[in-house]
C-alpha cells in the first residue's frame, strides 16, 4: 500500500481538549491511518484547521483530481464515532450557498458525537456518475467517489465506527436518496430537504435539465444519455424506491407559497427587492415542484410499505431559511440511524 502524504498546516497552540475528550488526531498532528481505496484513491494532504476542523485533500482515481473534504470532528473523539455526510446543493459548496455560509447546521452539530463530512466541489453535477466527460463540467464520477473511494479513506484516517448517514438539500436532496440505493448498506439514514426524487419522468427530467444545462452549462446527454433513456431511470430514486427499505428517512418540502423567511432583507432572504422577488417567484416555482415530487414519493413509499418521516410545510420557498429550520428537525431521524 502506498503511504499517504499528510501535510498539516494552520496549527494553533493549545488545541488539545481535556484528557477525556482529546482528539487523537489533533494531539498527534497525524491522521490515524493512511488508507488507500481499492482503485488507488487516497488522502494526499490534510490540514488541521483548529481543535475541531480538518480539511482533507482526497485524490479521486475515478475523476483523476483532488477533492476537498471538510471535516468537523465529534465533540468527544476519544473513541470511534459515526459519520454524517452533509451535501451542499447545486453549487457543490463552491459558492456561498452552502451549509457553512448560510446555515447553523455545523454549530448545531458541535456538541454531537459525529464526524461531519462536507465535500467541496462537483457543482451542477447532481453528484452522480456521468457516462461521458463534459466540455464544461469535466469528469464527474461522484457516485463512485461517495460509495467506493471516500468511505474507506474517512473510516481509516479518522477512526470512525463505520456507521454512516447522509443529508442534502435541493439537487442533493435527490442524490442522498440515490446513493443508498446505489450502495446498499452503506448508509443507515438519509435526510432530503426540498429535493425531487423523480428524475426520469417529464417533471423530474426538467428539474435535472434546469440545473445541469440552464444553470451549469453542461449537457445532460453526457450525464445519463438521451432524456428518458436507461441512465435516467437507473438513477431515479422514485422508480427504485425499494432500495430505500431499512433506512431511517426524513423528507421535507415547502409548497412555494411565501412564508416567514420570504421577507424583504430578512436574515435568510436574498438581499434587496430584486433578491426577494427572485426568491419568491423562482424559488416559489421550484419549491412547488419539489412539493409535487415529494408527495409522489410519499405515495410510492406507502405503497411499498417503507416507513419514512415526511414534513410538508404549508408555506416556504426554495431557500436557506427553511433548510436551516429543517436540519435540526431531521436530527432525531438521522441520530437514530447513526446510533446516537
Does residue 175 belong to any structural domain of this protein? yes
Does residue 14 belong to any structural domain of this protein? no
d(CA 216, CA 208): 11
| Angle, in degrees to the nearest 10, between helices 272-304 and 202-209 | 140
Give the per-residue pLDDT at 96. Answer: 82
Q: Which domain holds residue 37?
A: 26-338
Does residue 12 belong to any structural domain of this protein? no
- Say if residues 322 and 270 touch (Cβ distance below 8 Å): no
- Say if residues 6 and 121 touch (Cβ distance below 8 Å): no
d(CA 293, CA 296): 5
Pick from 95, 120, 90, 163: nearest CA to 339: 163
Pick from 71, 115, 68: nearest CA to 93: 68
Pick from 125, 216, 100, 245: nearest CA to 175: 125
d(CA 149, CA 64): 12
Give the per-residue pLDDT at 11. Answer: 33
End-to-end CA distance of the chain: 34
Q: pLDDT tens digits for 245-270?
A: 999 999 999 999 999 999 998 888 78
| pTM score above 0.75 | yes
d(CA 223, CA 105): 31
From first to last of its 340 residues, the chain has per-residue pLDDT tens of 333 333 333 333 333 333 346 899 999 999 999 999 999 999 999 999 999 999 999 999 999 999 999 999 999 999 999 999 999 999 999 988 899 999 999 999 999 999 999 999 999 999 999 999 999 999 999 999 999 999 999 999 999 999 999 999 999 999 999 999 999 999 999 999 999 999 999 989 998 999 999 999 999 999 999 999 999 999 999 999 999 999 999 999 999 999 999 999 888 878 899 988 988 999 999 999 999 999 999 999 999 999 999 999 999 999 999 999 999 999 999 999 999 9
What CATH number is given to the structural domain containing 205? 3.40.50.1820
Does residue 151 belong to any structural domain of this protein? yes
Instruction: Label each residue of 225-287 as H, E or C.
Output: CCCCCHHHHHCCCCCCHHHHCCCEEEEEECCCCCCCCCCCCCCCCCCHHHHHHHHHHHHHHHH
Sequence-distant (≥ 6) Cβ neighbours of residue 297 within 8 angstroms: 197, 198, 237, 238, 241, 251
Does residue 333 belong to any structural domain of this protein? yes
Does residue 318 belong to any structural domain of this protein? yes
Q: Give φ, ψ of 176 to 5 degrees.
A: -70, -10
Does residue 19 belong to any structural domain of this protein? no
Does residue 10 belong to any structural domain of this protein? no
Number of domains in the chain: 1
Amino acid at each position: 500500500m502506498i503511504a499517504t502524504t499528510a501535510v498539516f498546516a494552520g496549527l494553533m497552540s493549545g488545541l488539545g481538549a481535556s484528557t477525556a475528550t482529546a482528539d487523537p488526531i489533533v494531539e498527534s498532528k497525524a491522521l490515524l491511518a493512511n488508507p488507500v481505496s481499492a482503485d488507488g484513491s487516497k488522502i494526499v494532504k490534510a490540514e488541521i484547521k483548529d481543535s475541531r476542523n480538518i480539511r482533507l485533500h482526497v485524490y479521486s482515481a475515478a475523476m483523476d483530481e483532488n477533492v476537498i473534504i471538510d471535516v468537523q470532528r465529534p465533540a468527544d473523539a476519544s473513541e470511534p464515532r459515526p459519520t454524517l455526510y452533509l451535501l451542499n446543493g447545486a453549487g457543490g459548496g463552491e459558492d456561498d450557498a452552502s451549509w457553512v455560509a448560510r446555515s447553523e447546521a455545523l454549530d448545531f452539530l458541535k456538541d454531537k458525537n459525529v464526524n461531519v463530512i462536507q465535500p467541496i466541489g462537483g457543482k451542477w453535477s447532481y453528484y452522480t456518475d456521468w457516462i461521458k466527460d463534459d466540455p464544461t463540467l469535466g469528469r464527474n464520477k461522484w457516485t463512485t467517489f461517495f460509495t467506493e473511494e471516500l468511505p474507506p479513506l474517512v473510516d481509516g484516517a479518522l477512526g470512525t465506527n463505520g456507521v454512516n448517514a447522509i443529508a442534502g438539500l435541493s439537487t442533493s436532496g435527490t442524490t442522498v436518496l440515490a446513493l443508498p440505493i446505489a450502495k446498499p448498506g452503506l448508509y443507515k439514514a438519509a435526510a432530503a430537504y426540498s429535493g425531487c426524487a423523480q428524475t426520469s419522468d417529464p417533471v423530474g427530467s426538467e428539474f435535472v435539465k434546469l440545473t445541469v444545462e440552464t444553470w451549469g452549462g453542461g449537457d445532460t446527454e453526457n450525464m445519463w444519455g438521451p432524456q428518458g433513456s436507461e441512465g435516467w431511470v437507473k438513477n431515479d430514486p422514485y422508480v427504485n424506491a425499494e432500495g430505500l427499505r431499512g433506512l431511517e428517512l426524513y423528507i421535507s418540502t415547502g409548497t412555494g407559497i411565501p412564508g416567514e423567511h420570504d421577507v424583504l432583507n430578512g436574515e435568510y432572504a436574498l438581499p434587496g427587492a430584486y433578491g426577494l422577488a427572485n426568491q419568491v417567484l423562482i424559488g416559489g416555482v421550484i419549491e412547488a415542484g419539489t412539493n409535487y415530487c415529494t408527495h409522489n414519493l410519499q405515495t410510492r413509499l406507502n405503497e411499498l410499505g417503507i416507513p419514512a418521516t415526511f414534513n410538508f410545510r404549508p408555506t416556504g420557498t426554495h431557500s436557506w431559511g427553511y433548510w436551516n429550520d429543517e436540519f435540526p428537525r431531521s436530527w432525531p431521524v438521522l441520530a437514530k440511524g447513526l446510533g446516537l
